[in-house]
Amino acid sequence: MDVVFRRNKDPAGGKGGTTPPMDTRIPRPARAGSSRDRRRILLLDALHAAGLVVVIVLALFPIYWMVSASFKTDNQLFAVPPVWLWKPTLAHYGTVLHDTNMMGALANSLSIAGLTTLLSLLLGVPAGYGIARYQFRFRRDVWFWFVSNWMIIPVVLVIPYFLIATKLHLLGSRWLLVAIYQTFGVPLAVWLMVDQFRSIPAELEEVARIDGTSVFGAFIRIMVPLALPGVVVSGILVALFAWNELLYAQALIPSLASRTAPVVALTFLGGYEVPWGDVMAAGTLIVLPVLAFAALVSRYLVRGLTLGAIK
């Protein structure tokens, strides 16, 4: 898992004068011999850097384009060829913040995402632990049942949820969304936490148990702290999906005041003309908090995305 550690260990080091055959594709820094080889390695390094730059540009460009469009006047937006340098305008942000309840919607999204994450962890972390650390009948079925919730197509469940919410007078309640979001939050947390708990040596827990700690004491005081990276990562992913969710939020929150940010973004598309600048400003407002968050926690996120992959 730890890339840096592995690569820092010079593969040729400690082997004295025995130089392994030259790998021409993947250069190994310690093995550069002749100046021709050195030049070739420099060239490969340059290509490598160029490749990385291409990846960065491709990944960033669409986001950059949206953000830049949100600061352009309509004329600059529609200009062909595109304008690359211009004096930014804040007019679209003014429109979005004035005409829609975007700030309120962002606050709604934030609270829903936060509560969803909290509940998913409360439910998913113990479940992941139970599946990872114990042998019992139906264990594999239980695991599959949890994970298969991730496979359900949300469109399918919108009408049933809508009708039951109507009967229970829950329509428009953020708790309704928080509860429904568990259908993807819990499976995600369970999937990741099973792998996380399995990667922790069993002896650590056994030592604690010998010392007289109860099962739950050991879980809370020993296992959860050890599995913290997985917990953080599950939380981040659940929060992302909850923040981004559209279908349920659209159908189950009728009140304009309690709508979530993605739903509000859609309202710009209804007119005869798409107000591109406003739409891009709204998009930027919705995406920027998540991007900042994602970049801040990227180390955890990278780890989280890969937990399911590594045993």
Partner 1 sequence: MSRQRRTLVPWLFILPGFGFLLLVGLYPLVFTFVTSFERYHLDTIYLGTPFVGFDNYIDSLRSSLFIGAMLRTGFFVLVALPVEMVLGLGIAFLLDRPRNDGLRAFTRVILVLPIATTPVVVGLFGALIFNTQFGVVNYLVGLAGIRPVDWLGSPTLAMVSVFALQVWQWTPFVALVMLATLATIPVEMEDAFFLESNSWLKRLRHIRLPYLIPGLTAAAIFQTAYMIKLFDMIYTLTRGGPGESTDLISLQMERLSFRAFDAGQAAAESVIMLVVTLVLSQLYIRFFYREPEA
Partner 2 sequence: MHIRSGSGRSLLAAALSAAFLLGSALSAFAAGEREAASSANDYQGTTITVVGLDRPSYAAAQKLTPQFEQQTGIKVNWAIYPYESTLKEETLNFVSQSQQFDVILTDVVWPGVFGQADWVVPVRHFLDNTALTKPDFDMSDFIPIWLKAFTWGDKLLGIPFDSYSGLLYYNKAMLRDAGFSGPPKTWDDLLNVYAPRLTDRAKGVYAFALQSRRGETQSCDAFARFLWPWGGEFLDPATFQPEVTSASAKAGIEFRQKLLQYMPDGIVNDDHGEVVQLLAQGKVAMITEWSSFYATLVDPSQSKIVNDLGVTTEPAGPSGAVPAFGGFAYMVSSQIPEKLQNASWLFIQWLTSKEMAKPLIENGAVVARISADGDPANQAQYPYLAPMVDSWKTTTDIFRPRFPEWPQLSEITSNWGTQIELGQVTVDQGLQNISDEFKKVLGDAGYYSGTKPKIE
- If one asks whether residue 82 binds partner 1 (CB under 8 A), the answer comes out as yes
**Given the complex with partner 1, which of 45 and 211 has the nearer CB atom?**
45
Q: Give the orientation angle of helix 228-244 with respect to helix 298-307, to 10 degrees.
A: 100
Q: How many degrees, rounded to 5, is the angle at CA 55 between CA 53 and CA 59?
A: 120
Binding to partner 1 (CB under 8 A) within 251-310 occurs at: 251, 261-262, 265-266, 269, 274, 276, 279-280, 283, 286-287, 290-291, 293-295, 298, 301-303, 305-306, 308-310
151: Cα within 13 Å, side-chain hemisphere: 5
For residues 178 and 122, give the distance between their C-alpha atoms in angstroms, rounded to a whole number: 13
Q: Looking at 39, 43, 107, 139, which residue binds partner 1 (CB under 8 A)? A: 139
> With binding defined as CB under 8 A, does residue 247 bind partner 1?
yes
Q: Determine the Cα–Cα distance for residues 96 and 70; give it in Å rounded to an integer.
A: 11
Tell me if 256 contacts partner 2 by CB under 8 A: yes
Q: How far is 309 from 304, CA to CA, in rounded Å?
A: 10
| Among the listed residues 228, 274, 288, 291, the single contact to partner 2 using CB under 8 A | 274
Contact 243, 181 (CB under 8 A): no
Query: Which partner in partner 1, partner 2, none is near 256 (CB below 5 to 8 A by kind)?
Result: partner 2
123, 208, 226, 232: which one contacts partner 1 (CB under 8 A)?
Answer: 123
Site for partner 2, rule CB under 8 A: 162-163, 165-166, 171-172, 251, 254-256, 266-267, 269-274
